[in-house]
Each structure stands twice: as C-alpha cells, then as structure tokens.
C-alpha cells in the first residue's frame, strides 16, 4: 500500500479508502440484506493489505453500515485504521440532536471515538438552514474537546462558489470529501475546488472516483479512448492518484475481486505517475462520455425508497444504458422492470434527497415517453 499526507493533520492515509456503502448483498426471506460474512472478510482483506481509512455514514445500507463496520473492526482491527463517519445533517431538528446521533453512531461502531467526523452532504441550503442555525460547528468542536471525534471535516454536493464559501466559513476544517473524477473536473467542487481546499491545508478525500461505476463498465468507444495496457478503471483511478492535491480515494467495493484489483492498482499509485501524453487523454475521454451521458446518477440510493415503488437508480441505469448497449437491449431491460417511470406521482421526495440535484420527476415523464 502507498500512503499519502492527509493535509495539515500530519497523518498518513492509504491511497485507497474503503467506502462502506456498497457491500455484497444476499436474500433473507423477502429481504435483501448485507452478506455480513463476505463484507467483513472484504474489509479485513483490505486492512491486511494496508488500507487504513474506512468510510461510513449514518444512512448507508439503511443504517446497517456502521454496525457492520464496527463488527468487522473487532479482533484488533480497530487499532489499525482510521474511521470516518458523518453527522446526518438533514436529520438535525434541534441542537441536542447532534450529540444524540453521535452517541448512537459510537454505539453502532462499538468505539470510543471516531477519527474523522464529517458534516454529511453540505450544500448552500443545509449550511444556512441547519449548520449555522443549530451551531453545528460549535458542537463538533465540543465533541472533539471531549475526545469523541478527532478531526473535523465535511462532505460536499453543490457548486464551486458554495464550496469556497463553506471552506472560508470555518478555519478549523481539517479535511473535506468531494466528488471528483475525470468527467467531473468542472462539476460541483471540481478541480478548482480540489486545489482551493488543498491550498488551505485540507486533506481531500475523493468520492465517486468511478462515477457510481459508470467509468468502469464503459461503452466500447469510450474504452477505445484509452491505451489497452490498463483497464478503464485503472485509467480513472490513476487520473486521481497522479494529482498531489488528492489525499485518498474512496471505493465502495462490492466483491472480493474489486478489493483485490483496487489493492493492486493502489500499490502502483503515486503523485506524478502519468506522463503529459497520458494526461492529455482524459479531456478527450470526457468529451466522449459527455456525448453519451443522459442522467448523472451515481447510484448512491439517497432518493430511495420511492413511495410509488420505482427503483430510481435502477431505472436511470437502464436509461443510461441506451447510450452503451443500444436502444433494443435497453428497451427490453425497461420492459422487465416491475414498476415503470409512469408510476411517478411527482411527490418530489426523491429530488430533495438527491445530492446530484437531478430533476427526477421530470425525467420520469421523459423516460415514459422514450420507452413508450
């Protein structure tokens, strides 16, 4: 494993972090539940190979992720890693809620403290209407003084100007987490935001390095943009590791092979690993991606459940696949969906939760027409 400086914290983190939001699942009766044995095995497989950053959050896997991680870190594994967890900002309705959630998270994780604690998914509205209103920074500082959290940060989903405002709002930020990859260089915080944060001494954690898998399973003409000696996944990850401002990237790994592959890629990573010629490939690949992109869904699942029973990320995956697999295959996949886009009643619950600010209800109407 390669290790990199984590901003001004003075700590060193592994180039690869384990994102605990896409564990392998299995059927239990009617329900789909985490395959605990495999998930714990994968977490330990990564730690045994040097991964020292575990990222979870209150809502991941419908509240099951933190508990699973806690279980995986028993038997001496806790001491080998940093735990990153996030305050569910949108659930805070009064000041005391901050401590209530933090205590619950410590209990779920079975730990005395959380190494990296983030305000989850900040945007302009959450910043104004929750963080400032309930003085959450003060509560973070109190929790730090009490030894319950060690470092203060935030994760982010909004535009560049908002990102800079949030960074400038508080001098105590030690790190942040942003969505970034070779197609999102000018989206949300983007490359300018990355450099802005790093310049201020923040560690920068990258989420969605593969854009919810869309830079892994790519259309043939996008794959053709890259020389064949590496896979599209490697090219996407190397784009990030090449940059000195990137502290680590998170991968939400779903099977043992992904863990093994990512470990192998991380072992070869370093700042400045790409040649100028290789760096020039990415803008060309982005152009190809942009012409194919229909919906910028990352499959995070925050919009779920839909009261009408629509599998929102699933339906968008089918829609996006029209650009990859051709219309006929996509139409067949759409026809097989149990609940289709026309079931949308425009309640807008999903849109309030979507960190990509996707106009989901409008798209449902478009999709109904497209597949009619």
Contacting residues toward ligand SF4, per CB under 6 A: 297-303, 306-308, 310, 312-313, 316, 344-350, 353-354, 356, 358, 360-361, 364
User: Residue 284 or residue 357: which is nearer to ligand SF4 going by CB?
Assistant: 357
User: Residue 236 or residue 364: which is nearer to ligand SF4 going by CB?
Assistant: 364
User: Residue 4 or residue 211: which is nearer to ligand SF4 going by CB?
Assistant: 211
Q: How far is the CB of 339 from ligand SF4 (least distance, A)?
A: 9
Q: How far is the CB of 344 from ligand SF4 (least distance, A)?
A: 3
Q: How far is the CB of 90 from ligand SF4 (least distance, A)?
A: 13
Residue 368: count of CB within 10 angstroms of its CB: 15
Q: What is the DSSP-derived secondary structure letter of residue 268?
A: T
Q: How far is the CB of 315 from ligand SF4 (least distance, A)?
A: 9
Answer yes or no: are the C-beta atoms of 216 and 243 closer than 8 Å: no
User: Residue 70 or residue 190: which is nearer to ligand SF4 going by CB?
Assistant: 190
Strand-pair category, 175-179 with 31-34: unpaired
User: Residue 74 or residue 347: which is nearer to ligand SF4 going by CB?
Assistant: 347
User: Residue 51 or residue 89: which is nearer to ligand SF4 going by CB?
Assistant: 89
How far apart are the C-alpha atoms of 122 and 154, rounded to whole Å? 7
Answer yes or no: are the C-beta atoms of 257 and 285 closer than 8 Å: no
Q: How far is the CB of 368 from ligand SF4 (least distance, A)?
A: 11
Q: How far is the CB of 304 from ligand SF4 (least distance, A)?
A: 7
Q: How far is the CB of 110 from ligand SF4 (least distance, A)?
A: 29
Answer yes or no: are the C-beta atoms of 287 and 55 closer than 8 Å: no
Alpha helices in the chain (DSSP H): 36-48, 65-72, 97-109, 124-126, 136-145, 160-169, 190-199, 220-223, 232-241, 256-267, 276-279, 281-292, 312-325, 327-335, 349-353, 360-370
User: Residue 84 or residue 364: which is nearer to ligand SF4 going by CB?
Assistant: 364
The 8 Å CB, 24+ separation contacts for 367-371 are: 367/315, 367/319, 367/334, 367/341, 368/340, 368/341, 368/342, 370/319, 370/322, 371/331, 371/334, 371/335, 371/340, 371/341
User: Residue 146 or residue 348: which is nearer to ligand SF4 going by CB?
Assistant: 348
Q: How far is the CB of 104 from ligand SF4 (least distance, A)?
A: 23
Strand-pair category, 3-5 with 12-14: antiparallel
């Amino acid at each position: 494993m390669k290790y990199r400086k984590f901003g001004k914290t003075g700590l060193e983190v592994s180039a690869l972090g384990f994102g605990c939001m896409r564990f392998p699942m299995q059927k239990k009766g009617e329900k789909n539940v985490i395959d605990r044995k495999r998930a714990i095995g994968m977490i330990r497989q990564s730690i045994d190979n040097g991964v020292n950053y575990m990222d979870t959050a209150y809502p991941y896997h419908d509240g099951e992720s933190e508990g699973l991680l806690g279980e995986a870190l028993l038997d001496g594994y806790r001491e080998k890693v940093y735990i990153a967890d996030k305050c569910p900002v949108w659930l805070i309705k009064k000041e005391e809620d901050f401590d209530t959630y933090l205590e619950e998270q410590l209990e779920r994780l079975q730990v005395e403290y959380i190494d990296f604690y983030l305000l989850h998914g900040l945007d302009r509205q959450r910043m104004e209407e929750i963080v400032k209103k309930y003085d959450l920074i003060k509560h973070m500082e109190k929790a730090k003084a009490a030894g319950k959290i060690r470092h203060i940060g935030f994760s982010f989903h909004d535009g560049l100007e908002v990102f800079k405002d949030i960074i400038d709002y508080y001098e105590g930020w030690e790190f942040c987490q942003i969505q970034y990859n070779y197609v999102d260089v000018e989206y949300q915080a983007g490359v300018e935001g990355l450099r802005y944060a790093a310049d201020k001494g923040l560690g920068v954690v990258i989420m969605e390095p593969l854009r919810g898998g869309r830079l892994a399973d790519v259309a043939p003409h996008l794959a053709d943009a890259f020389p064949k000696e590496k896979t599209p996944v490697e090219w996407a990850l190397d784009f990030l590791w090449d940059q000195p401002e990137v502290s680590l990237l998170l991968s939400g790994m779903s099977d043992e092979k992904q863990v093994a592959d990512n470990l192998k890629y991380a072992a070869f990573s370093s700042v400045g690993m790409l040649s100028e010629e290789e760096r020039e490939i990415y803008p060309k690949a982005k152009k190809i991606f942009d012409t194919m992109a229909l919906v910028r869904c990352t499959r995070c699942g925050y919009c779920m459940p839909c009261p009408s029973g629509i599998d929102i990320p699933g339906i968008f995956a089918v829609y996006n696949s029209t650009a990859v697999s051709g219309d006929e295959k996509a139409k067949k996949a759409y026809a097989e969906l149990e609940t289709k886009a026309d079931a949308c009643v425009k309640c807008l619950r999903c849109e309030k939760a979507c960190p990509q600010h996707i106009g989901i209800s409008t798209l449902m109407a478009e999709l109904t027409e497209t597949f009619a």
